[in-house]
Amino acid sequence: MKLTHLDEQDRPKMVDVTDKDATIRVAVASGTIQMSQEAYDMIVSNQTKKGPVLQTAVIAAIQGAKQTSTLIPMCHPLMLTSIKVDVVELPKLPGFRLEVTAKLTGKTGVEMEALTGASVGLLTIYDMAKAIDKSMVISDVRLESKSGGKSGEFRR
């Protein structure tokens, strides 16, 4: 199988999407962060010294999705039309699940934007609560689903 990010001389290149059809493309990615009960309780009750952790993580996830092409070398800069972030409290873990949905009408997919958004949102939670718990674990960052484009539908 030939990698699409390499040219005939095996040099890195950004894939040419000029001739691809523009379609509606949607990707959903998620990830979790596990933490101490103390950190969880302080975040849920908005008692952390750095401010509202979950609201800041939502903003960070949106910003992360928007900055994907500056972080991942072969990603195309995209005109995203929607980014939605959901935070699910997981009291039994304890921790949180972040889910990012990225959408556009374009010639290339938005999987990397959704994955980057989820990662940056989770890293923001870690950053804002690390004074309480440095042993937090970010895990299971993954693509949940995608639609649109030549490769069609994917569902985990």
Active site members: 127
Report how far residue 148's alpha carbon sits from residue 151's, in angstroms, rounded to the nearest whole number: 7
Bridge partners, 154 (sequence order): 146
Report how far residue 145's alpha carbon sits from residue 153's, in angstroms, rounded to the nearest whole number: 7
Of 91, 99, 96, 93, nearest to 125 by C-alpha is: 96
